[in-house]
Structure 1
Amino acid sequence: MPNLPANGIRIEYETFGDPTSPPLLLIAGLGGQMIGWDEDLCREWAGKGLYVIRFDNRDAGLSSKMEEAGVPDLAVAMAARAKGEKVAAPYTLDDMADDAVGLLDGLKIGRAHLCGISMGGAIAQTMAFRHPSRVRSLTQVYATTGNPRLPMPKPEILDLLLTPPPPERGAYIEYMIKLYRTIAGPGFPFDEVWHRKLAARSYDRGSYGPGKARQFLAILAQG
């Protein structure tokens, strides 16, 4: 898959469809890779007349890693956030939104439809605030505004999100299945076969726990 320079880093991406069609930028969630946007779904959208772009956020997949920033203590950061204190971070969602704009610049795309999942939805919101002229429409999938008056994620989900993924492949896959299942909830059938394939491919492609922690810190620092 290709990559290009954007906002001072390199972004791995993949496109589907005709570049002259209306562009749809898909933004992954916390610790997620672009392959979480199913390839068949991307091709289906492209077949319906969209130019589909999926990419790895910084600190995930095959995009640049911010290794020099170290691994944050998320418990300390969450305690500070709970007390209303400012959380310091090597980058914030502003930077991640600017990464996405840099990707559009590199692809010579002026305006795009945005679809973000979880943290990706927050990045899409931030992109719309910071760069409204670059946004055709905004679709969010289980994302929030960050308003403290809104409900927080359930404790079991937060616990899983804050737990570093295991380094061993089999344990990593089981951890991800538990996370996927918990996030999915009981409302719809859970496709374990598909999610196992995604977890295995994510591990083989580039699982990166420190990056997930820094992305979480970016969310906390955004306020």
Structure 2
Amino acid sequence: MTLTAMHSKTFNQHHPVRQGQANCGPVTIHYQDEGYLTDKPLLLIMGLGSQLTLWPTELVNTLVDEGFRVIRFDNRDIGLSSSANNGIDADLKKAMLRSRLRLPIKSNYTLFDMVSDCINLLDHLDLPKVHVVGASMGGMIAQLFAALHPHRTLSLTSIMSTTNEPWLPMPRMDILLNMAGYGVPRGHEKEIAIARSLQFWKKISSPMYPTPDEEILARLAADFDRAYRPSGYLRQSHAIIATGGFRKLLRNIDCPTQIIHGSSDPLVNKKGGIDSAKSIRRAKLELIKGMGHDFPKQLLPRLGELIAYNALQTHSR
């Protein structure tokens, strides 16, 4: 594999920040690498259709202050990373039907390919082992990473995620319909796309920890300007369905593991997180009352503490 570095090193008032592009086999992955090179590396893997910017800056800063070198990146097909389109139509309705019937699904890629992206990124950065943290789809990728590459995993934290087993509860019906395009504004102009995203985020946000609309709108506008990739969202959704359930693989995980899930998550039901915790030896489960499928500011200190404490267990074993 040929890897090329394109680093531009800058500094903010807290810590060093590096960013670059990694040639990872069939795709190019854009990443941001924060903290000191000698600190403990921690890989953040984001979820469906979401850019690395969805990781809250406050959480990243907390982890860096705790002594971690924090690496976050845009998954393939999203943000500033390259597309991964092999010409296969991402027909989600057909894929969901085939999944329920336990029939094979042909897709442009699966979550296993996205795990390989993570490995290739770490090779690019010359990191043999990392703490792995994933949210939502990123939590699935993180679990598969730890199961398939235990020799490269120091610890695992999976947030608002699942084992992807087809018998687990689906998203709440109104959210499922929105994701299928029913009852949402149509079009790809900036105002329409932001209005559609705002409608979705308000449905999945934490009921006990609401985020003001203006804060959500500011983030959505900034993310739209950075990159707007609706076809990537569809292909990632298709990849999740095509991957299928993987709870049996989780038996291979033997590192400190923390599962975090909101009790009020309407997108990925808490039973998904509970199943992850049951499937991984000695996994710790933290169900947070009133948390939905987002990162409310009020919970960031708690999330940072859970991630850091779990990672520290690696060095006490």
- Normalised by the size of structure 2, how large is the TM-score? 0.67
Q: Does 1:32 align with 2:50?
A: yes
In the TM superposition, what whole-angstrom CA distance separates every residue of 1:14-56 from its partner, at most 9, and x where no partner exists?
A: 0110111111111111000000012232122112211001100
Match for residue 200 of structure 2? 179
Tell me the CA shift for residue 98 of structure 1: 0.7
Match for residue 291 of structure 2? none
Match for residue 148 of structure 2? 130
The answer as to whether partners of 1:71 and 1:213 remain within 8 angstroms in 2 is no
CA distance in 2, matches of 1:70, 1:194: 37
Q: Which has the larger radius of gyration?
A: 2
Q: Larger % of helix: which? A: 1
CA distance in 2, matches of 1:90, 1:67: 6
The DSSP-based 3-state class of the residue aligned with 2:37 is coil
Deviates more, 1:4-13 or 1:187-196: 187-196
Q: Does 1:46 align with 2:67?
A: no
Tell me the CA shift for residue 63 of structure 1: 0.4
CA distance in 2, matches of 1:129, 1:169: 40
> After the TM superposition, which residues 137-152 of structure 1 pair with which residues of structure 2 at under 5 Å, given as runs?
137-152=155-170
- Higher relative contact order (Cα pairs below 8 Å, separated by 6+ residues): 1
Q: Does 1:199 align with 2:220?
A: yes
CA distance in 2, matches of 1:144, 1:221: 15
Q: Compared with structure 1, are the counterparts of its residues 40 and 185 closer, same or farther at alpha carbon in structure 2 (3 Å cutoff)?
A: closer
Match for residue 98 of structure 2? 80
The answer as to whether partners of 1:162 and 1:213 remain within 8 angstroms in 2 is no
The DSSP-based 3-state class of the residue aligned with 2:28 is strand
The answer as to whether partners of 2:29 and 2:74 remain within 8 angstroms in 1 is yes
CA distance in 2, matches of 1:219, 1:7: 20
Tell me the CA shift for residue 70 of structure 1: 5.1
- Normalised by the size of structure 1, how large is the TM-score? 0.94
Stretches of structure 1 that go unaligned for 5 or more consecutive residues are none
Q: How many residues align?
A: 223
Deviating 4+ runs (over 4 angstroms)? none
In the TM superposition, what whole-angstrom CA distance separates every residue of 1:96-118 from its partner, at most 9, and x where no partner exists?
A: 01101111111111111111111
Percent identical residues:
37
Match for residue 211 of structure 2? 190
The DSSP-based 3-state class of the residue aligned with 1:69 is coil
CA distance in 2, matches of 1:45, 1:65: 30
Tell me the CA shift for residue 68 of structure 1: 4.1
Match for residue 97 of structure 1? 115
CA distance in 1, matches of 2:128, 2:66: 21
CA distance in 2, matches of 1:138, 1:85: 31
The answer as to whether partners of 1:71 and 1:210 remain within 8 angstroms in 2 is no
Match for residue 275 of structure 2? none
CA distance in 2, matches of 1:193, 1:38: 16
The answer as to whether partners of 2:92 and 2:238 remain within 8 angstroms in 1 is yes
In the TM superposition, what whole-angstrom CA distance separates every residue of 1:68-127 from its partner, at most 9, and x where no partner exists?
A: 435411111111112221111111000001101111111111111111111000111111
Tell me the CA shift for residue 201 of structure 1: 1.2
CA distance in 2, matches of 1:166, 1:132: 44
